[in-house]
Chains A and B, each alone.
Chain A
Amino acid sequence: MNFNTFYRACGLFALSVLALALTSCSPEGESDVLSEFPTITLPPIEVAEGDGLPVEFPEDLEWITNNDDPEFASPDAIRGGTFRTWILSFPLTLRTVGPDSNGSFAGFLRPIQFSPVTFHPMTRKPIPLMATHWAFGADGRSIYFRIHPDAKWSDGEPVTADDFVFTVQFMRSEQIVAPWYNNYYTERIRDVKKYDDHTYGVQGSHSKPGDELILDLGIGPTPDHFFRMSDNWPVEYNWKPAPTTGPYHVGEVEKGKYIELHRTEDWWADDLRYIRNRFNPDVIHIKVIRDETSAWQHFLSAEIDTYGLTRPNFWHDKTNAEAFRKGYINRYWFYTKLPVPSAGLYLNTADGRLADKNVRIGLAHAMNIELLMSTVLKGDYDRLPTFQLGFAHYDNTSIYPRNFDLAKANAHFEEAGFTEVGTDGIRVRTNEDGSKDRLSFEVTYGRDDHTPRLVVLKQEAKKAGVELRLDLQDSAASFKKMLEKKHQIAWLTWSTSGLSPRYWEHFHSVNAYEYDPEIDEMIVKTQTNNVTSTAIPEMDELIMKYRNSSNLEERISLAHTLEQMVHDHAAVIPTYQVPYTRDAAWPWIELPEWLGVETTGSLFNSQANAAGMFSSGGLFWINEEKKEEILAARDRGETFDPVIIKDETYR
C-alpha cells in the first residue's frame, strides 16, 4: 500500500464517521423512533352482555357526601421545609404500572394519585376527595361520581370525567404490559361512562355493601392528555413521571442517588375540609441508602429526619446510642387499630405428613410463640389468635389460639402414629410398608432478621420431638418458592387491607389444585396465594356465598363461620400481631397534640394513605427554627431529658 492510498482511506474513514455522527444527531433520528412505534388510539370501553350503565343519566339518584366528620389535622401546622427520608434501592421506573413498577418506591408514587372518595381515618366512613358527591346505582353494583370542579393535574390541566374513563381504557390495554391490571379492569370493572365533564359512573361485577363498592370502584384518574400510547409505552414513559392529583409530584431526580417530591403550587385541594393543614413539607427528599445499618447511622447523625422503630431490637437495643441518650431524638410508641397483617406459619397440606390434621394441631401446640414473644420480641407484640383480625364486626372473637402445650402436642403426634422417639430426640413413625417418617420439617422464610425468632421456635419444638430446619432465602426467592408450593412450612406475613377479611385467595380449592389433562390427574396449582393447599368442598361453597353476598349481616355471619373453619383446619399457626407503630424523630419534626389517629400506619408517613384506604397520613410538619436550635445545642454538647411518648388511646 503506498502512502496516497493510505491517506485516501483515512479520509474516507473520517468522512464516514462524520456522516454517522451527523445523522445520529439529526432530528430525523427521533422521528424514526416515533414512526417505529406509531401512536395507538385505545378502543372505546367494551361492555359484555348483561353489563353496562344506562345511556341516559339516571335522574332519581340520591347524591351523598360527608362533611360532618371531625377534622384530624392540626391548625398549628407550619407549611414548608424539606423532609428527608430514605429507600433501600433506586426504583427501576417512575411509572406506577407496567414492568418493574411494584418496587418499594410505588409506596410513594401511588398515594399521590388521589381517588374520588377515601375513608375517614377515625369514623371509617367514606369522605369526599376528588369527587364532591357520589350516588349508588339501582343495580347495586354501580356508583356515580361528581368530580370537584376545581380539580387539576399538577401540570395545570383540569381533571375531567374523560380521565376516569381513560383509566379503564388504559388499564385494559396491552401496551402497559400489566396482565394483572388488564384482568382486574376487565373482570372486576365492567363499565365506565362519562355523562358530562364532571360526572361519570362505574359499574362492577358483583353487588356488594356500599363501602366495599366504593373501595372497589373508586378508581383514580389517569392523565389522558399526558400519555401517548404505543407499543413502546413502558420504555417511553419509564423515566417520565406522570402529573398527579395529590399534593406532591416528582420533582428532581438524580438517578441512583435520590428523588425529590415537590409540593404542587396552588394545589387545588389545599382548603378541602379533610385535607387542610396536612402534607406540610414543601419537598420530600428520598435518598437511596443501600444498607440498613448505614441508614441508621445517617439517622443518628441527623441526615434523615425520622426512622421506624417498630421492631423490638430497634426500640430496645439500637436506641442505646449517644443521640438518644443525650435526648436529641424523640421516641413515639403509638397504639393503632388497623387490620392486622396475618403473620404465621403456613403448613402445606400437600406434603404427606402435613396432610394429617393431628400432625398440624400437634405442631401448633409445639410452637412456643409465647416464649418467642417474651424473649426475642421483648414482650412488645401480642399473640394473634386467628388468621384474620382487625375488621371490626367481621372479627370472630370467640377463637383462641392453640398455646404451647407439650402434653397436647405429644397426644396429637402419638395419635398420628409418631410414637417412637429416635436417638436424636425426634419423633418417628413407621408406616405400613416399613418406611419411616421423621417429624422434621423445613421452614422457608425470606427475612434474615427473623432468624432469631425461628431459632427460638426450633429449640422449643425439639421438646415435642419436632425438628425444624431453617431454610432462609432472599425475600423474592422465598416467596417464589411458596407460590410454587415447594415449601413444607412457610413463615410468612400477608399484609391486609380493605374492609373485610378475604378467604377466596387463601383457602378456595381452585387456588390449591388444578386438573392436568396430560397425566389425567389433579396437580398442585402454582402462583396462587393458597400456600396451605387447602381444598375443602364445604368451605368452597361458603367462600363463594360470602364473596357474592351484598347483605352485610350475612357476610359477617359467613366470615365468622369461615374463620372458625380456618382455625379447625389448623393449616395456619397464627403467630403475633403488632398493634402499634413506633417511630423515632428529630424534635423539629412536630406532630399534632393527638399525635395520630386510630388508623395511622406510621406517625411520619408523608403520604396520604395507610392500609391502602384510610386517609391518615401527612399530619406532621417541620419547625425550621427548632432545627437550628437543636443542631446548635448538639454541637455545643448540651444534653436534654430523653422524650419517650407512649400513647395508648387506641389500645
Chain B
Amino acid sequence: MFKLDPQTIKQWKRFRSIKRGYWSALILVTLIVLSCFAELYVNNRALIVSYEGKWYFPTYAGKILPGSMFGLGDDYISETNYRDLKQKFKEEDKGNWVIMPLVPFGPEETDGDHIFESPSLETKHFLGTYDAGRDVLAALVYGFRTAMAFALILLVCTYIAGICIGCLMGYWGGAFDLLFQRLIEIWNTVPFLYVIMIVASVLSRSFWTLLGVMVFFGWTTMTWNMRTSTYKEKAREYVSAASALGASNTRIIGSHILPNTISVIVTFIPFSIAGGIAALTALDYLGFGLPPDQASWGNLLKIGTANLQSGWIVTSVTVSLIVVLLMVTYVGEAIREAFDPKKFSYYE
C-alpha cells in the first residue's frame, strides 16, 4: 500500500489541528469542485428537454440546439431560449417539458426586462442584475471559476519556470547564476502595467493572452526563493554524499534537493493564488483584463462602484472577494505553520 512519509503525516495532522485553515481549505476545495459543474445549476441552457418523447441534454450536447429542433420555426437557427420554451410547453400542455437549472440565466446573457433590479425570488435573479440585465449571481459563480482557473494555471506555469531556473541558479552557481540574476533584475524593471496596456491595445483581449503576459512577468518571483533554498541544501552533507556515490545532477536535484525545499514552495502557494485572483480582478477593474462582455469579478466591481445606488452589485462582489481571499490566506497561514521547520525538522 501507498505509505506516506511520517513527516508528511505529522504535517498533515498539524494542518488539520489548525481549524480555521482546515475548514477554509475544505470550503474552498468544495467551491472549486462545485464551480467546475456550474453549468448544471447556473445556466440559460436547460438540463433536460423532453420533446415529442425524445430527451435532449443541451448543456452537454457539444453544440447549440437551434429553436428549429423544438418546433419553434425553421428560421430559428440560433440557440433555443429555453426559458421561453419551458413557458411554451407549459401553455401547450402536450406532455413536453423542460427542466431548467436553479438559476436559469447565463453569465453573459442579458435580460432586457430587468435592468439594474434588486434581488428577487420571483424573477429568479437571486442577487439582482447589473448593466444590461445580466445576473449578478451567475457572474459571481462564473467569475469565481475564471479567477480560480486563472490563478491556478498562472501558479503552475510560473512555478515550473521559477523552480527550474531557481534550482539551477542555486545548484550550478557561478556564471549561470550571475547571468540569470542580472537578467531577472532587468526583467523586473520592465513596467508590467504598461506592457499589459500595450498588449491590450494590440491584441484582442482574452483569457490566454492575459495569462501569457502574467506568466511572462511572474516567473521571476519564485526564482529567488528557490535559489537560496538550493544553495542552502547543496551545502549539506547528504548532497556531497550523493555526489560521492556518483549520482547524476538530475538525480541530486530531483530526488534530494527538491523534496527538501518543498516546504518553501508549498508555503508560497496559497499566497500566490490570492495574488493571482487579486491581479486578475484589479486588471479587469482597470479595463485591461478579460474581454469587456465576459463575466468577471473585476468587471462586476467596476460596474458596482460606478452604480453605488444599486448597492446589491458592489455588496455581492466585495463580500465574495473578501471571503475568498480571506479563506485562501487562512489556508496559507495554516500551511506555513504546519510546515514550519522549527517544529518538524530533525537536525543531528
Contacts and interface: CB of A to CB of B under 8 A. Distances in A.
Contact of A424 (B64, B205, B307): B64
B306 A423 contact: no
A565 B132 CA distance: 34
A257 interface: no
Interface in A463-512: 463-465, 469-474, 477, 481
Contacts of B112: 371, 374-376, 456
Contact of A452 (B62, B132, B200): B132
A448 B200 CA distance: 14
Contacts of A427: 77
Contact of A472 (B110, B131, B134, B292): B292
A371 B306 CA distance: 24
A317 B114 CA distance: 13
A472 B292 CA distance: 7
Contacts of B77: 410, 421, 425, 427, 463-465
Q: Chain B at the A interface: mostly helix, strand, loop or mixed?
A: loop
A470 B108 contact: no
Contact of A407 (B75, B131, B132, B310): B75
B204 interface: yes
B307 A318 contact: yes
A456 B110 contact: yes
A128 B78 CA distance: 61
Which of A462, A463, A465 has the most chain B CB atoms closer than 10 A to its own CB? Answer: A463
Contact of B293 (A293, A371, A451, A464): A451
Contact of A473 (B62, B64, B132, B201): B201
A441 to B, nearest CB: 12
Contact of A317 (B63, B116, B132, B133): B116
B62 A451 contact: no
Of A313, A376, A451, A452, chain B has the most CB atoms within 10 Å of the CB of A452
B201 to A, nearest CB: 5
Contact of B75 (A374, A406, A462): A406
A423 B63 contact: yes
A463 B201 contact: no
Interface string B95-136: 000000000000011101101100000000000000111100
Nearest to A422: B63
Given A292-B306, A317-B307, A407-B75, A455 B131 contact: yes
B104 to A, nearest CB: 15
B287 A472 contact: yes
Given A451-B131, A469-B204, A425 B287 contact: no
B200 A473 contact: yes
A462 B78 contact: yes
Contacts of A473: 200-201
A320 interface: yes
A454 interface: yes
Chain B residues touching A, range: 35 or more
Contacts of B293: 451, 454-455, 458, 470
Given A376-B132, A456-B110, A459-B109, A469 B291 contact: yes
A452 B131 CA distance: 6
A378 B131 CA distance: 12
Contacts of B64: 423-425
Interface string B73-106: 0011111000000000000000000000000000
A427 B77 CA distance: 9
A474 B132 contact: no
Interface string B289-301: 0011100000000
B153 interface: no
Contacts of A477: 201
A376 B132 CA distance: 6
B189 interface: no
A471 B204 contact: yes
B201 A455 contact: no
Contacts of B116: 313, 317
Interface string B254-283: 000000000000000000000000000000
Nearest to B294: A470
B309 A455 contact: no
A376 B108 contact: no
A375 B114 CA distance: 9
Nearest to B61: A423
B173 interface: no
Nearest to B305: A293
Contacts of A516: none
Interface in A420-445: 421, 423-425, 427, 442
A86 to B, nearest CB: 16
Interface in B292-327: 292-293, 302, 305-310
Contact of A313 (B62, B133, B200, B307): B307
A48 interface: no
Contacts of B109: 459
A18 interface: no
A483 to B, nearest CB: 14
A473 B302 CA distance: 16
B288 to A, nearest CB: 9
Contacts of B62: 423
Residue from the set B113, B305, B309 with the largest chain A CB neighbour count within 10 Å: B309
A229 to B, nearest CB: 38
B115 A463 contact: no
Contact of A451 (B133, B204, B292): B292
Interface in A571-625: none
B201 A376 contact: no
B287 A448 contact: yes
A421 to B, nearest CB: 5
Nearest to B65: A425
A393 to B, nearest CB: 38
A452 B132 CA distance: 5
A15 to B, nearest CB: 39
A448 B115 contact: no
A321 interface: yes
A455 B110 contact: yes
B289 to A, nearest CB: 11
B75 A410 contact: yes
Nearest to B81: A463
Nearest to A324: B309
Which residue among B134, B204, B293 has the maximum number of chain A CB atoms within 10 Å of its CB?
B293
B85 to A, nearest CB: 15
B149 to A, nearest CB: 21
A289 to B, nearest CB: 14
Contacts of A472: 205, 287, 291-292
Given A410-B75, A424-B63, A454-B293, A293 B110 contact: no
Given A317-B116, A472-B287, 18 more contacts: A313-B307, A371-B112, A375-B132, A376-B112, A421-B66, A423-B64, A425-B64, A425-B66, A425-B78, A451-B292, A455-B293, A462-B78, A463-B78, A465-B78, A469-B204, A471-B205, A474-B201, A481-B201
22 contacts: A375-B115, A375-B132, A376-B131, A376-B132, A406-B75, A421-B77, A425-B77, A448-B287, A448-B302, A451-B131, A452-B132, A459-B109, A462-B79, A463-B78, A464-B77, A469-B291, A470-B291, A470-B293, A471-B205, A473-B201, A474-B287, A477-B201
Q: Give me the 4 closest cross-chain CB pairs, A-B, nearest first.
A: A375-B112, A423-B63, A452-B132, A452-B131
